[in-house]
Chain A
Amino acid sequence: MSSSSSKSVFWRGVRDGMPFTLVIAPFAVLFGVVATEAGLNVFEVLSFSVVVIAGAAQFTALQLMQENAPTVVVLASALAVNLRLAMYSASLVPYLGKAPLWQRALVAYLTVDQSYATAMIKYENEPEMPLNEKVRYFIGCVIPVVTVWYITSMIGALVGTALPDGLAIDFAVPITFLALTAPMLRTLAHVAAALVAVATALVFAFLPYNLGLIVAGIAGMMTGAQVELWMTRRAAP
């Protein structure tokens, strides 16, 4: 009985992750096209997408290679873009920390923005969900996104010609991330965290290696935590 409900939780994850393929696909095609234009072959493009699975970091690396930046700078910048993944990793601990090591390693490899955010919304709304279902739900959310990411980046590499600029594919990511953020803005603390993070990101956008993002993330998290404390104190008699 529990196995049938676990199975349905997995499929619920797949269903909830499915819509993101619509925005992931054009983004991945674009990566394949740009990487091919920069001189990577199809196998290298596919390997890149399978080994790294992080669009923003992959684009950053390509961009810097085209600017002839030193290898160390390429790696440092691309990994700095991915520092947020360490924060995601930390925020998953309260929910998935008790899972077996191999499951935690699998979840870690598969941590991508869209499915992470979808799973977090689920975990916050259904805190009583059993651990094994939380893991299955996470994997379910990721499967469509990651599969489409692999396949369509390879299609982009095979197509290999420039896409028309009019498609505005650059904006696929902002729209997705904003759509994911909106339902999470449930309390004053969440709203304050988001507003401070946005303001800080804009002020510190000049920092190299995308460090502005990390500064903004920390500022937003501190704001959320402080506002939460303040609200709890105010609610107490």
Chain B
Amino acid sequence: MIDNYNIWLIIIVMGLGSFGLRFVFLGLVGDRPLPDWVIRHLRYTAVAILPALVAPLVVWPDATSGHLDPARMAAAIATLGVGLWSRNVLAAIAAGVVVLYAGLWLTV
């Protein structure tokens, strides 16, 4: 399967491309001031992208062939809930892991 590919070509192009994406604004815009409306949009980058990346993984996990999984859903809700309440990233991760394993154990 992998033998059909030039793996080094893939590694190098992915590396250059990923660096390019990471560098494009920070490197090329630098200290030129950005317009207010751009900054207003950028403020919400993390808060939009991170949950958007996660949403399909929570609702349709690959591990359960795309079927909604009560343990994973409960873990997601626990993580978010504890994170909102405590404002502490580590506490939220701990809550998510505990609920995930408890849920998996209960649903076996």
Residues of A bordering B, CB below 8 Å: 19, 22-23, 38-40, 44, 47-48, 51-54, 56-58, 61, 65-66, 68, 71, 74-75, 78-79, 82-94, 96-98, 101, 104-105, 107-109, 111, 113, 116-118, 120, 165-166, 168, 170-171, 173-185, 189-190, 193-194, 196-198, 200-202, 205, 212-213, 216-217, 219-225, 228-229
Contacts and interface: CB of A to CB of B under 8 A. Distances in A.
Interface residues of B, number: 77
Most buried by A among B2, B53, B79: B53
Most buried by B among A87, A92, A179: A179
Nearest to A84: B49
Interface of B: 1-15, 17-19, 21-27, 29-32, 34, 37-63, 71-72, 75-76, 79-80, 82-84, 87-90, 92-93, 96-97, 100-101, 104
B77 to A, nearest CB: 9
Given A82-B21, A108-B23, A56 B41 contact: no
B4 to A, nearest CB: 7
B59 to A, nearest CB: 6
B30 to A, nearest CB: 5
A75 B10 contact: yes
A23 to B, nearest CB: 6
- Prevailing SS type, chain B contact patch: helix
Contacts of A104: 23, 26-27, 30
20 contacts: A52-B11, A52-B15, A57-B18, A71-B6, A84-B53, A89-B24, A90-B25, A107-B26, A170-B57, A171-B100, A174-B75, A175-B100, A182-B87, A183-B83, A183-B84, A198-B51, A217-B45, A217-B48, A221-B44, A223-B44
Contact of B18 (A53, A65, A196, A222): A53
A86 B48 contact: no
A193 B44 contact: yes
What 6 pairs between A and B have smallest CB-CB spacing? A182-B83, A220-B48, A224-B44, A51-B15, A39-B2, A179-B92
Contacts of B92: 175, 178-179, 182-183
B13 to A, nearest CB: 5
Contacts of A185: 47, 84
Contacts of A184: 46-47
B41 A85 contact: no
Given A19-B89, A183-B88, A193 B6 contact: no
A185 B80 CA distance: 10
Given A52-B11, A89-B21, A170 B79 contact: no
A125 B66 CA distance: 38
A52 B42 contact: no
B22 A197 contact: no
